[in-house]
A and B are shown apart, each in its own frame.
Chain A
Amino acid sequence: MKGNSSNSGNPQQGQHSASAGTLAASPRSRPRPRLAVFKFASCDGCQLSLLDCEDELLAAAEAVEIAYFPEASSRMEPGPYDLALVEGSITTPHDAQRIQEVRRCSRFVVTIGACATAGGIQSLKNWAHHEDYLKWVYARPEFISTLATSTPIADHIRVDYELRGCPINRHQLLEVILAFVRGQRPKLATHSVCLDCKLKGTVCVEVAQGIPCLGPITHTGCGAICPTYDRGCYGCFGPAAQPNCRSLTDHCLQTGTSASTLLPLLRNFNGYAPEFREASNRVEALSAAAASVKEPIDE
């Protein structure tokens, strides 16, 4: 399972197992840890979250040396890097090569955002024929070199930590950077959005208004923004720890939410995350089965 609590590698066991297994430089003798930010197929929103940390940015810049961050600075230092933040998914053969290079030159790799951790909204093409998409979008598709799928970074390389969200929560990002700088393993909560609703006193929109809501199976991080504004959760932060997607989708279908409402809700920014993917495939199969039972009667 992918989740903030079950990161695929222990940061203490990075491949360049440096002394004491920590990025933290002692104040005088060693340079600050070198940070790099890489972009793959994505909208840049997550990188912008880092720039968005206005108040904290200067302090962050003191804690790390920002060695490679094309979005923010024209100064691009070569590797190796101590910490690589990777935004975006893998959608081209070239990127599939490039991510290997990132892994080679980085001690710790942290993927940020729904694209990098789950394939992003562009993974909708995983359910379609990508040649069709190419024809619709590009005048000369023969010049486009692309893969048939959009896949998360962890499908290609070992990832030390995955930070969820579309976009990520900047406070969580700072917490993750700081944890690596201090040689600690990041420890972010993995509970559902429902707990955030309750901490805020937000009344449940599913129970009080019958609005379908992915909150019970969605990872914390957004502060329950949507329910607070009378909308159901869209699952921007991906699956929570051990989500019971089957129970929630069955309940929605039984209480009048149609498969055509539920499917786009599940096949969203995190639609290709394994738990959501399995849930949407199941809803699709159920509704196809229901339709095929109905068809002979309709004829």
Chain B
Amino acid sequence: MSSKPSSEFPFSPPAPDSPANHNPDGTSLFLPRDDLNTLIGKLTADGYQVVGPRLEQEAIIYGEISGADDLPIGWTDLQEAGKYRLQPRGDQAFFGYTVGPHSWKKFLFPPVAVVATAERDGTGWKLDTPDAEPPKYAFLGVRACELAAIKVQDRVFLGGPYTDPIYQKRRNAAFIIAVNCTQAASTCFCTSMNTGPRCTAGFDLALTEISDGFLLEIGSAAGNAVASGLSLQPASDEQSGRGESARQQAVSQISKHMDTTDIRDLLMGNLQHPRWDDVANRCLSCTNCTMVCPTCFCSSVKDVSDLTGDHIDRERRWDSCFNMDFSYMNGAPVRNSIHSRYRQWMTHKLASWHDQFGSSGCVGCGRCITWCPTGIDLTEEVAAIRSSPSSGRSERPPISDAEVSAT
């Protein structure tokens, strides 16, 4: 992958004090199990709204956390294409699950936001941009693929000449506690995308859960300040060893793979491949994959007025390339079929994203596979095209570049 270093962008995450997997004094640190609650309490006392995993609606979602008891203790998830089920683990693990239906983007890039208001004022208008202080979030339980996804969205929202103030404020204020995966779902393929499962950078603190507590790594000055208020002990070799084998377990459980060799050219060279018809027969164009994807960033903006027409909110909502209205221009939708919409999504995510942002748009979290109601798996779609590339043997007239690369 041709991922550019994040330092090329105006925004870069807090610089680690030292290589992330070591602590300032070079020793590994151990946080006893009971002190996780102290950490949550300390962050709350510091003015953070702590958000993390909770059991809700038959799933592990991300919501507000007031103490360690709110975490999904002893629960895990079974995931496959189009299917997610909770299951008891038979132990007391806090973080013994893989990524679920929510992602952190719902906090940094809110699903619905008012970006401007207009109030009729005599014969004119009074325009405003609401800028109430956003919540100061502490994210608890961010996985490696999710750190990578946040980095992707940093490039999208903060990396160019136009930055998104809503995202920027939330992102700059956020405190990130990463958690190394100790297990993987059948839908995970972070190893193919070089994003995990080990958290290596982009966090303030990182935890590896072992039965009696956590191995703790410090990733930033802010992380160091929070850690200094905890009763940390040096980790024993035995504890470090257990942490290492727990992390290794996640690596060895990863069974899904996506071959990314020359993937940009592979997909762009196969825009007329018959597989797009095949997937279009199965795809519902329901938007679920884009909504759950932690990197998808599309939205649409609409002016919502009250009945008098004197007050108008300019509202931004998550939107999706799977919606017909999303490509509506000059009286008709540009992508007027499920075929063209699925192809747009996948070629943007895996191919033209490289041109636009210098990296893949996919971090291998597997959410789009699990949460697709009909279980469409993008890794299988790529594999099908790779196994019978049809470049140059196009039966259809070529489509315009605009249709291929419009986002």
With the chains together, A44 CA to B142 CA distance in Å? Answer: 51
B214 at the interface (CB under 8 A from A): no
A5 neighbours in B (Cβ, 8 Å): 324-325
Give the distance to chain B from A13, nearest Cβ to Cβ, in Å: 14
Q: Which residue of B lies closest to A217 (CB)?
A: B284
A289 at the interface (CB under 8 A from B): no
Count, A-B residue pairs, CB within 8 A: 124
A215 at the interface (CB under 8 A from B): yes
With the chains together, A174 CA to B309 CA distance in Å? Answer: 12
A191 neighbours in B (Cβ, 8 Å): 287, 320, 323-325
Do B373 and A207 have beta carbons less than 8 Å apart? Answer: yes
Chain A CB within 10 A, most for which of B112, B284, B319, B375: B284
With the chains together, A189 CA to B304 CA distance in Å? Answer: 13
Do B307 and A207 have beta carbons less than 8 Å apart? Answer: no
A194 neighbours in B (Cβ, 8 Å): 286-288, 291, 373
B76-120, CB under 8 A of A: which get 1 and which 0? 000000111110000000000000011000100001100000000
Given A216-B286, A251-B373, A202 and B111 contact (CB-CB distance below 8 Å): no
Chain B CB within 10 A, most for which of A198, A200, A206: A198
Give the distance to chain B from A143, nearest Cβ to Cβ, in Å: 45
Do B317 and A199 have beta carbons less than 8 Å apart? Answer: yes
Instruction: Give chain B interface residues in 309-361, CB to chain A under 8 Å.
Output: 309, 317-320, 323-325, 337-338
Give the distance to chain B from A14, nearest Cβ to Cβ, in Å: 19
With the chains together, A194 CA to B85 CA distance in Å? Answer: 19
Give the distance to chain B from A71, nearest Cβ to Cβ, in Å: 20
Given A194-B288, A216-B284, A244-B284, A230 and B374 contact (CB-CB distance below 8 Å): no
Residue from the list A203, A241, A251 in contact with B57, Cβ < 8 A: A203
Do A215 and B61 have beta carbons less than 8 Å apart? Answer: no
With the chains together, A215 CA to B291 CA distance in Å? Answer: 14
B123 at the interface (CB under 8 A from A): no
With the chains together, A151 CA to B281 CA distance in Å? Answer: 30
Do A242 and B57 have beta carbons less than 8 Å apart? Answer: no
A178 at the interface (CB under 8 A from B): yes
A202 neighbours in B (Cβ, 8 Å): 57
Give the distance to chain A from B304, nearest Cβ to Cβ, in Å: 9
Do B284 and A207 have beta carbons less than 8 Å apart? Answer: no
A56 at the interface (CB under 8 A from B): yes
Q: Which residue of A lies closest to B59 (CB)?
A: A203
With the chains together, A204 CA to B309 CA distance in Å? Answer: 36
With the chains together, A216 CA to B291 CA distance in Å? Answer: 13
A124 at the interface (CB under 8 A from B): no
Instruction: Give chain A interface residues in 202-250, CB to chain B under 8 Å.
Output: 202-204, 206-210, 213, 215-217, 230, 241-244, 246-248
Do B61 and A204 have beta carbons less than 8 Å apart? Answer: no
B193 at the interface (CB under 8 A from A): no
Do A241 and B325 have beta carbons less than 8 Å apart? Answer: yes
B153 at the interface (CB under 8 A from A): no
Give the distance to chain A from B346, nearest Cβ to Cβ, in Å: 17
Residue from the list B101, B306, B307 in contact with A204, Cβ < 8 A: B101
Given A191-B287, A192-B287, A202-B57, A242 and B374 contact (CB-CB distance below 8 Å): no
Interface of A with B (CB < 8 Å)?
A: 5, 56, 59-60, 63, 174, 178, 182, 189-192, 194-195, 198-204, 206-210, 213, 215-217, 230, 241-244, 246-248, 251, 255
Q: Other than A56-B306, A203-B58, A247-B281, give 19 A-B pairs with Cβ distance below 8 A.
A: A63-B307, A178-B307, A194-B291, A195-B287, A198-B111, A198-B288, A198-B318, A199-B318, A203-B56, A204-B84, A204-B371, A207-B82, A208-B101, A242-B338, A243-B284, A244-B281, A244-B282, A248-B374, A251-B82
